[in-house]
Amino acid sequence: MRIGQWTLPNNVLVAPMAGVTDRPFRQLCKKLGAGYAVSEMAASNPKLWDSVKTSRRLNHDGEIAPISVQIAGADPAMMAEAAAFNAGKGARIIDINMGCPVKKVCNVASGSALLRHEDLIARILDAVVAACAPLDVPVTLKTRTGWDRDSRNALRVAKLAENAGISALTLHGRTRADLYTGEAEYDTIRAVKAELTIPVIANGDIDSPAKAKHVLDYTGADAVMIGRAAQGRPWIFREIDHYLRTGETLAPPSYGEMRELLLEHLDDHYRFYGEHTGVRTARKHIGWYLDGLPGADSFCARMNLIDNTRDQWRAVSDWFDIISRDGSPNPAPVAEALLAA
């Protein structure tokens, strides 16, 4: 799997997710077998570049190469400027967002709203590729199958991308109108792959090794991109990579390994965000990791009241210690006592 001059170690990739794929999460996913990860989307508006949120998204210290930054916007010149700016901050691949379906993005004609304006898509692609070419930075595109099911235009958009010099295309098997409901379809991805010479990456509802293999086999895609299925389950990348290479299913992580991975994630998360923001933004990650485990709902309800990183980290550590030591089917009462202490 290649993107421009970059050869990736495998074809199991991390999807950009707003509020999720920050540097600590990307690093952990790469450590656990992801061949590549794209940052959460960064605004193309220069007025926002000095904000705390954007500054964090531009922080790639120590990140495993290649660093990929996703940009979003609707103005070709502004998008080109944003691409060059991020390249100057360390991005080695620029990804263009034409897939985000949320209202606050689409309401300003960004993300998947661009699928209704193919002429504007062409101008944005041309501008960003032209800005990145002298910097030897390849450009990729992430998009959806169309605005709605009556206006699927992914193949036309894909042709525009290839003609503009885009190095790889990621296609989510839903329209903008679908949001994240229903099931992703792969017929459109298959049709696009059959017509393109650049790499095509399949995205949408890929949540297991067997599903990843099915999607690759059915679509002919060059890679799969995992999004929501990796939330609280960063080891999914090694599971899929191992299955694709060997046909064997890896055993799930033990409680002990899950504990170590989550605590490592929290340590990095706290360092990255600081005390005030770190303890609050970590709650969703903890909830994802513990989802479905015995007593997790009760524990998380109490844990979410903790307002400092030290006690939050200790509560998680103690909770896993209880499960690992006692194998209790319901460790919640003991964990709640620990939280109250």
Q: What does each C-alpha distance from 55 to 10, 22, 162, 274, 277 come to in angstroms?
A: 29, 11, 31, 14, 14
Catalytic residue among 29, 100, 106, 300: 100
What is the rounded distance in angstroms from the CA atom of residue 19 to the CA atom of residue 278? Answer: 12
Q: Are 330 and 294 in contact (CB under 8 A)?
A: yes
- Taking Cα atoms as reference points, which of 221, 245, 285 lies closest to residue 33? 245
**Residues 38, 41, 44: CA angle, nearest 5 degrees:** 125
The 3-state secondary structure of the chain reads CEECCEECCCCEEECCCCCCCCHHHHHHHHHCCCCEEECCCEECCHHHCCCHHHHHHCCCCCCCCCCEEEEECCCHHHHHHHHHHHHHCCCCEEEEEECCCCHHHHCCCCHHHHHHCHHHHHHHHHHHHHHHHHHCCCEEEEEECECCCCCECHHHHHHHHHHHCCCEEEEECCCCCCCCCCCCCCHHHHHHHHHCCCCEEEECCCCCHHHHHHHHHHHCCCEEEECHHHCCCCCHHHHHHHHHHHCCCCCCCCHHHHHHHHHHHHHHHHHHHHHHHHHHHHHHHHHHHHCCCCCHHHHHHHHCCCCCHHHHHHHHHHHHHHHHHHCCCCCHHHHHHHHHC
- Per the annotation, the verdict on 106 as an active-site residue is no
Tell me which residues are annotated as active site. Answer: 100
